[in-house]
Structure 1
Amino acid sequence: MTSTKGLEGVVATQSSISSIIDDQLTYVGYKIDDLAENSSFEEVVYLLWNQKLPNKSELDTFKAELAANMELPGAIIDHLRSYDLSTVHPMAGVRTAVSLLGLYDDQADVMEEQANKQKALRIQAKVSAVVTAFARIRQGKDPVKPKKDYGYAKNFLYMLNGEDPKDIEVEAINKALVLHADHELNASTFTARVCVATLSDIYSGVTAAIGALKGPLHGGANERVMEMLTDIGEIENAIPYIDEKFKNKEKIMGMGHRVYENGDPRAKHLRRMSKELSKVIREDKWYNMSVKIEDYIKEQKGLPANVDFYSASVYHSLGIDHDLFTPLFTVSRMSGWLAHILEQYNNNRLIRPRAEYVGPKTQKYIKMEDRK
């Protein structure tokens, strides 16, 4: 029995939700390029959960149900107000608040298929409100209630800022939500499936997944990208900064990806949005700096940008606080986690791998009085 570090190359389950084959990402067989350019986030969520794109009637109903379930219980808002917002990282706050939602759901431990689908809908609706409420409360503002006639992306920006967003801003958030919705058996998705494979409840599964996404090697990468761009400051500093990283053998966030050999197919869509948005806010240095860094690292190390690299400048251009980048990732990836949780429940087997033991063998027990 031989281990594989990081489970790299290990096929742990079968799934019909998303695939990465020959550097092409698909959701239920649909290419990510087609979905990113044509679909609303709600269409993609419906696709992931139901294995088919909705017709107009199905989509209208689904969008209405999401909007109707978006408002948070007052107890959750009171809980968010109780945080010491000077020390709490948003991902820790979101993780705890999402877990707390389960205490206010009288169906939390009902395991029938229809009950789980309804819980999935409520969780997907409310996670957007959790993130935006956290952001506003720490600014000393009241949470904003969603509008039932707004789509998911538009409602996110409306609840975050308290004003109607521009069309290009809605387009950018919708595209980001679509691109981040699922990504095969990534670390947080695997965590969710391991958790619910014990037949734990759906709230436990998504809370465990949020904990995994919080790490800088997973969901936290785009926040670190923006920290890097801010440290660089001006475009003429970019190459010397990267050379110093190379010299010190430091990891550069947002570059390369374990499962793509020739580049992340999602990155180009956010690269285009970064270019457009940086022009809108008249701060194109963030886009230009990103392009210069990507081109240089590709030339020097053969590593192209991944989706996190350009999402950083997109979110910055939208005025989103840098430490909210990963919570926004959570809002999107929640759809994929829930799809995988539902799939796991429908064909469950406890996930219990083995470990290759490398510790000492055949040691002899020594009585206390004889130990040195």
Structure 2
Amino acid sequence: MYWKKPMDWMRSFPQGVPLTLLNILLMSLGFYALIPYLSYYLTHSLGWTAFLAGVLLMTRQFSQQGLTFLTGMVGDRVGYKRLMVLGMLVRGIGFAMFGLFDHPAGLLAAAAVSGLGGAMFEPTRDAALTALADPADLSRVYAARKVFAQAGLALSAPLSAMLINLDFRLLSYACGLLFFGAALLTQIRMPEVTVQSQPLPFVSMWRIVLRDRTFLLFVAVMCGHYFMSMQSFLTIPMQVVAITGDVRAVSLVNLVMATLILCLQVPVNRRLQKFELLTQMRIGLGFTACGLVVLGLASGMGLFLTGFLLFSIGTMIMEPAGSEMTARLADKEVYGTYFGFASVAMAVGGGLSQGAGGWLFQTGADQGIPMLVFLCGGVAGGLAIWGLNGLRGQAPSRVLFRFGKNTKF
């Protein structure tokens, strides 16, 4: 088991994968230390409405996921390392800008810049992981990616709790520095990763993806997943503050989620080995949807934590399964383009989650229906499960995958 021999477990990955996982930890630490507190800072310290805070988060979401198709294609052409480093630097600048401005125009610019940085490194990072990993070992690599991301989330709780009590600006600067550090580490230690023997025209890469109807349907299904999962950045933190009256509870929720995933991610993936990927995704979507409904019903921490447990299990199932499905469907010479286009689902689903989610949360509270946004999340999950049935019927030979017999968690 990986927790008994962590160094041996890390050495079992090909060159470049352990460094990428470490970078994921650093970037996750910087991201989760800042973003969950950003909505509280905007609505309480600056007096913004929940809707306006949602618009800012939606701006970051769309500026990131809305551009990943283009940045993924660029990464396929020029190599993944160069774009990863540039993206980390831009994200660091964007996070620092949150501390420099306190007016809407400056903060919206910070959101757009930080999103642009993410658009540069996110598809290229995932494409690099896929290109470096053994195809038979993709499931373990994506599970490890989730574990390292959640380790960063766990470490973010004490960092953010300490700095938020001092000054939000210190928190934003510290999180920006973490991305600068990840950029330096990548530039020094990351091997070059290229997948095209001869550069393909951008139009050709575009057509490969847009003609892949099975993949396009899969991306549409993932919009429902991201509508649900992205509630963790706005409405779930607002819900726990509404229940407890204490902003520090946001750190507790992040710590609980990180601990659950650190302890359960690998055992859960091991348990799911016997199921095909589509079945895993149905299970994950079902857990996430049920968790959101329970969260909406919660008026105390007991029921809230129950719903949050279901929600966390659902996301820890869905994210590795969704990434593996993308890798399995992708043409190996355009991994970045496929992963970039897959992020369109996060742009649409996540953008609506944070934009409409803030409005639904505020409207539900005003109309005496506080669980409105969480019910809408449950409906989105049900529609996504229904969409998976269409995916299976359209191209069963491409989407019915199981973990390989040699996959070792």
Does TM, normalized by the shorter one, top 0.5? no
Asked which structure has the greater RCO (Cα within 8 Å, sep 6+), the reply is 2
| Structure (1 or 2) with the larger CA radius of gyration | 1
Q: What TM-score do the two structures reach when normalised by structure 2?
A: 0.29
Higher fraction of helix:
2
Q: What TM-score do the two structures reach when normalised by structure 1?
A: 0.31
